[in-house]
Amino acid sequence: VQALRYERYGGPEVVGLQEVPTPTPRAGECLVRVHAAALNPKDSFFRIGEPKFVRPLAGTLPRGIGFDFAGEVVGTSEPVYGLTSGLRGSTCAEYVQVPLRMLAPKPKNLSFAQAAALPLVMLTALQALRDDGGLKAQGSVLVYGASGGVGTAALQIAKALGAKTIVSVSSAKNRELCLSLGATLSLDYASDHLPPPGLHFDVIFDTIGEQTFGRWRTALLPGGMFVGTRPTPSLLAAIVSTRLFSRRARLVAVRSDGEDLRTLTRFVEAGLVAPVIDSVFAMSAAQEAFTRLDSHRARGKVVIQVSPPGRPEN
Ligand SMILES: NC(=O)c1ccc[n+]([C@@H]2O[C@H](COP(=O)([O-])OP(=O)(O)OC[C@H]3O[C@@H](n4cnc5c(N)ncnc54)[C@H](OP(=O)(O)O)[C@@H]3O)[C@@H](O)[C@H]2O)c1
């Protein structure tokens, strides 16, 4: 079967289609015929392999790509979607073996390509805001980097959790997108004063990883939480140094979780959240897909169509 793989570290040009054996599911796993997958920055991070000490973390070369998937369970044809765990990608392939606890029924109102755009970023947003941030109904949240994969998910999840104040920070060209996804106020990081004067938040979610707790501390309400997506030295220091304080910092570490996926399915089927898709590429155009992801300008998700396009449900 065909799978996207790379045999050496480097740019998008190292990625190509290879023939691999059909995976054999173990106990507690099933085989999924993949219709669509999606790319995430961690796919690029491990493909680039810099700094060099990160290379062994994702295992030996050659390696597969992709953690998000949507497809059908072989044998039952049940439509499912989900997120594989770990650092070694595998879902940009015709078949993938998946632990049963890492998938859920695909939302009925979405195509496979739309469903594949959801799991990693939506579970990150859900776990960052609800679990790490403790965001409650009527709460207030600021999402920094609101137009990317995690950011567009976070605006919608904040709204689905009932947040009253949702402030987005993005480039000026993406302000309308942020408002359409639930932001009650949309700021531009290039021209607006940040932190916004006079506003205070229960949760500040930095999806980009370039912001410091020190810069944002005074914009947190007492008991408020600054949540970041990247383990930068600054965030790690803030997590340790704020442990005994009212305003604290945390790093989200997304985990695949069937129950959270089912929560997400309910949100999607209730019309509370929807995928934001930047672009869809065929497997044969994976290098272009990675070029788009690596531009750091994608609005929402870069999706890989795995099964031949043209089937209406794709
Ligand atoms: N810890 C975890 O569990 C976890 C989970 C998921 C993701 N992550 C990490 O979170 C980060 C974001 O992931 P993602 O999927 O959202 O990435 P993404 O979709 O590639 O993000 C693209 C967006 O980033 C914005 N952006 C780029 N550079 C920026 C800057 N300097 N300042 C502000 N905004 C900037 C762009 O918006 P504008 O064009 O509007 O500037 C663009 O819309 C990645 O580092 C990823 O590895 C961590």
How confident is the model over 238-290, as pLDDT tens digits?
Answer: 999 999 999 999 999 999 999 999 999 999 999 999 999 999 999 999 999 99
> pTM of the predicted model, to two decimals?
0.98
* 240 SS3 class: helix
Is residue 221 packed enough to be buried (19+ CB in 10 Å), middle (13-18) or exposed (0-12)?
A: middle
Q: How far is the CA of 111 from the centre of ligand 1 (A)?
A: 25
Counting ligand 1 atoms within 8 A of each CB, the residue from 174, 296, 299 with the most, and so the one to mutate, is 296
Is the CB of 145 inside a 6 Å radius of any atom of ligand 1? yes
42 pocket-lining for ligand 1 (C-beta < 6 Å): yes
pLDDT at 308: 72
Ligand 1, atom nearest to 300 Cα: 19
* The pLDDT of residue 312: 46
What atom in ligand 1 is closest to the CA of residue 151? 16
Ligand 1 atom closest to the CA of 253, numbered from 1:
3
What tokens were used for 198?
A: 């006079």
Q: What is the pLDDT of residue 108?
A: 98
Nearest CA to ligand 1 atom 46: 41
Does the C-beta of 83 come closer than 6 Å to ligand 1?
no
Residues of the chain with pLDDT under 50: 312
Q: Which residue has the tokens 């390696």?
A: 63
Closest ligand 1 atom, residue 145 Cα: 34
| Beta carbons within 10 angstroms of residue 162's beta carbon | 11
Other C-beta atoms within 10 Å of 22: how many?
12
**Which residues are paired to 140 by β-bridges?**
165
Give the integer Cα–Cα distance in Å for 269 and 288.
32
d(CA 249, CA 311): 46
Interval 180-215: pLDDT, tens: 999 999 999 999 999 999 999 999 999 999 999 999
pLDDT at 207: 98
Q: Which atom of ligand 1 is the closest one to the Cα of 171? A: 40
CA of 57 to the centre of ligand 1 (A): 21
Helix (H) / strand (E) containing 52:
none
C-alpha of residue 24 to centroid of ligand 1, in Å:
34
Residue 210 Cα, ligand 1 centroid: separation in angstroms?
10
Residue nearest atom 8 of ligand 1, based on CA coordinates = 229
